[in-house]
Amino acid sequence: MTHSTKAFYWMAVPALLLFVTLHTVPVLTGVLFSFTDYAGYGKWNFVGLQNYLSLFKDDRVLTSYGFTFLFAITTTVIVNVLALGIAMLLNARIKFQTAFRGLFFIPNVLAILVIGYVFNFIFSNSLPLLGQSLGIDWLSTSILANKDLAWLGIVGVSAWQSIAFSTILYLAGLQTIPAELYEAAGLDGASYWRQFSSITFPMIGAFFTINMVLALKGFLQAFDQIVALTGGGPGTSTESVAMVIFRGGFQGGEFGYQMANSVVYLLVIVAVSLIQLRTLQRKEADF
Amino acid sequence: MFHLKQGRATALGAALAAALLTSCAAAPAENEVTLDFFQFKPEAVQEFAGLIDEFEAANPGIRVLQNSVPDPDTAIRTLLVKNKAPDVLTLNGNASFGLLAEACVFADLSQEPVAKKVLPAVQDILNANGRCGGSEINGLPMANNASGILYNPEIFAKYGVSVPRTWDELIAAVETFKANGVAPFYMTLKDAWTTSPALVNLAAQLQPEDFFDRLDAAGDVREDSPVSFSKDYQELADKLSKLFSYAQPGAAGVDYATGNKAFADGKSAMYLNGSFAVPAIRAANPDAKIASFPYPVTNDPAKTTVVSGVDVALAMGRETPHRAEAQKFIDFLLSKEVVDKYTKNQSAFAPVRDAAPQQDPALQGLAAYFNAGRVEGYMDHRLPPSIPLVNITQQFVLDGDKSRFLNTLDNEWFKVAARTPNRGDQ
């Protein structure tokens, strides 16, 4: 063993140990408990696959999957469209460019819980006042109290916060495009839209992929913003999968059952991310 | 702009170090016993801090460390998962407490001398939620709440309405207020749990005898069950829906704190919340006019009861190494002086024989029923906590879809029964 490879081991092994003890071991413990009737305390027995079978018969769990996917896909699309737009504006030659970039990054620095509670106040108090004075019916009561509209409030707040991070990634991507490409296209008389669809978008393909994967994965795990905004309500209309796992597992005393839910959900998220990566990467331009 | 100024960073560091040092300075002496005291009630932290000072002064050599967290039902579970059961606990005597007791994580207190002076009706309510081995006493009640209708006596007097004693009188009173442009109730539907006081009171008087015992015995096949929510909760759902149809406009977006303030300021004649709301209402407005009466659910006043639950149950960790000291502390907390003081300050009802009756005028309407033993337990304490009862109820009072409400309750009940077949026999 040469001197340099030894050094690599010294650097890698502690990190690996930390990762295994803090991440892999808990995951495996969780998987083990998913085959038991463990309540989170007291005695427990192995129950085989019973938890998994019950999961597919539990309409509350199935509804939460439906809500989470609807929420995650809508928010991912909104975030990426707006973030790309903002990134292009911030990348253009404008006055106070750095100041604007800093400004647009602020939502990412704030904690989502804090944002959630602030927006909760806006949705419950400020917007209804506005709606009442303008005579708009659906806005004169809190949209968070409306089971058909509450999810849109959550989409709005989540998007408001995560656009900041996606914008930064897109900005980084836009700066990797050589200016000569635009010069050449301009000389050939390509329109602005043509330049976007043939140069800008293909050249930041890798950034688009990573943004889509990160955004969707993040929104599928939505929890904090829902706690701060609706607490899963009204009724159970905005319960995300993570929320059902937390409530049933830690508050409801069905630790084993919700561990099974977690395992299934882990597999679902991994599968979704892999599919996304494969389909999107095929469309990226090589250069 | 994002860089911390050097000077400020140093100051912060110094402050942090100072904070760490002061907490170290209070380390216990060698022969001193420190009791880990898990206290679930955030609004009573000051109260217990004062009691602990008294206890420590009278018992040198015992130190009590109060530990209060938000969301105590979840926190106690995480402590138990890590095998860190506290020495002494206060917990709400709810379904969650029952499940923990059934799992035998609390000590048996049935041989404690203080257990003898607890009102039997109250001890039964707590035991019915669940206990270890079906015979132990795992929790002793220290304070009870009572759920009834809170009302504003000035508004009642102004419109010549007397306290309703039957369901029809209640609805007539509501209509009178409505006709005079006064909000009969102030509903706070944004906080799902505030729908449950009405639900549990209706359930206590309308559900058939032994409903939950028979439901427990029915197993997991919904079709075969002789009892179910769809069969036995029809009248309850109708009456619940009726009450909430009188909600003020925009009630769906109003939270509990706003509701307390509104009722305190005389914006409604009645408020569907329990004795535990009284201190919060007074905090919002010290001059609030509050009185109370039990829910007149049927047209027979003799059937009227108040729903009462153990608001503060005292328990001891089963494996505590300081059993004698923990017992001493529990004896102290259940002494007449402490219970009297606590129930007075927290607008609670005393569940022990030697304590003074509740004198608060706001609670007189309920006190008579409590002292006469006309009490029923909370229906939601018999439901597994994995069923989101308050959310389901909130949904129902918002959309009024009765068949879906009852269907969802049945569905959730039998689903949980199917996936936890061994729940009862641990």
Contact A234 B192 (CB under 8 A): yes
Which residues, 6 or more positions from A181, have their beta carbon under 8 angstroms from its beta carbon?
A199, A203
Phi, psi angles (nearest 5°) of residue A118? -65, -45
pLDDT class of B142 with cuts at 50, 70, 90: very high
Report pLDDT for A38: 87
pLDDT at B17: 46
pLDDT digits (tens, 9 = 90+) for B310-346: 999 999 999 999 999 999 999 999 999 999 999 988 8
ipTM: 0.78
Instruction: Determine the average pLDDT of the residues in A83-98.
Output: 92
On whether any CB of chain B is under 8 Å from the CB of A37, the answer is: yes
Q: What Rg, from alpha-carbon coordinates, does chain B have? A: 23
Q: pLDDT tens across A212-271, in order?
A: 999 999 999 999 999 999 988 888 899 999 999 999 988 888 899 999 999 999 999 999
B253 has a pLDDT exceeding 50: yes
The reported pLDDT for the residue numbered B30 is: 60
Chosen for mutation from B129, B413, B419, B425 (greatest number of chain A CBs closer than 10 Å) is B419
CB-closest option in B102, B250, B384 to A128: B250
**Interface contact flag, A234 B395, Cβ < 8 Å:** yes
Q: Name the one residue in this structure whose structure tokens are 């109003």.
A: B254
User: Helices (H), strands (E): how many in chain B?
Assistant: 18, 10
- Number of A–B residue contacts, CB under 8 Å: 114
What pLDDT shows up at residue A235? 85
* Residue A281 confidence class, pLDDT cut points 50, 70, 90: confident
CA B337 to chain A, closest CA, distance in angstroms equals: 35
Q: Residue B278 and residue B272: Cα distance in Å, rounded?
A: 12
In chain B, what are the domain boundaries?
31-145+309-363, 147-308+379-419
With beta carbons under 8 A apart, name residues in chain B contacting A140: 250
Q: What stretches of B130-195 show up as alpha helix (H) in DSSP?
A: 153-158, 167-179
Q: What is the mean pLDDT of residues A57-80?
A: 95
Output the average pLDDT for chain B: 87
Task: Please check whether residue A254 touches B, CB under 8 A.
Answer: yes
Question: Which CATH architecture group holds B147-308+379-419?
Answer: 3-Layer(aba) Sandwich (3.40)
CB B131 within 8 A of CB B102: yes
Asked if domains B31-145+309-363 and B147-308+379-419 share a fold, the reply is: yes
Q: For residue B290, what pLDDT is reported?
A: 95
Q: Does domain B31-145+309-363 have CATH number 3.40.190.10?
A: yes
B222 residue type, one letter: R
**What part of A 206-235 touches B (C-beta under 8 Å)?**
231-235
B73, B250, B411: residue with CB nearest A141: B250
Residue A117, pLDDT > 60, answer yes
Percentage, residues of chain B above pLDDT 70: 92
Statement: residue A196 has pLDDT above 80: yes
Contact B77 A40 (CB under 8 A): yes
pLDDT confidence bin for A1, thresholds 50/70/90: low
User: Given the structure tokens 């059937």, which residue do they identify?
Assistant: B303
Shortest distance between the Cα of A27 and any Cα of chain B, in A, equals 16
Identity of the residue in B81, B395, B419 whose CB atom sits nearest the CB atom of A235: B395
Q: If you measure CA to CA, which chain A residue comes closest to B387?
A: A252
Which domains are assigned to chain A? 58-282 (1.10.3720.10)
Q: The pTM is what?
A: 0.81
Q: Which two tokens stand for residue B360?
A: 């608060």
Q: Span B120-149, mean pLDDT?
A: 90
Q: What percent of chain B has pLDDT over 90?
A: 60
More confident residue, B7 or B354: B354
Query: By the CB < 8 Å criterion, does A108 face chain B?
Result: no
* B42 three-state secondary structure: helix
With CB atoms and an 8 Å threshold, state whether B419 touches A45.
no
Closest-CA residue to A113 (of A153, A67, A157): A157
Tell me what percent of the residues of chain A surpass a pLDDT of 70. 98
Average the pLDDT over B262-279 and give the result.
93
Examine the pLDDT at B197 and tell me if it is beyond 80: yes
Confidence of residue A2 (pLDDT cuts 50, 70, 90): low
CB burial of B318-342 (b: ≥16 within 10 Å; e: otherwise) equals bebebeebbbbbbebbbeeebbbbb
- Residue B108, pLDDT > 60, answer yes
pLDDT tier, B29 (very low <50, low <70, confident <90, very high otherwise): low
Six-digit token string for B407: 């269907």
What pLDDT, on the 0 to 100 scale, is given for residue B96?
86
Residue B24 pLDDT grade (very low, low, confident, very high; cuts 50, 70, 90): very low
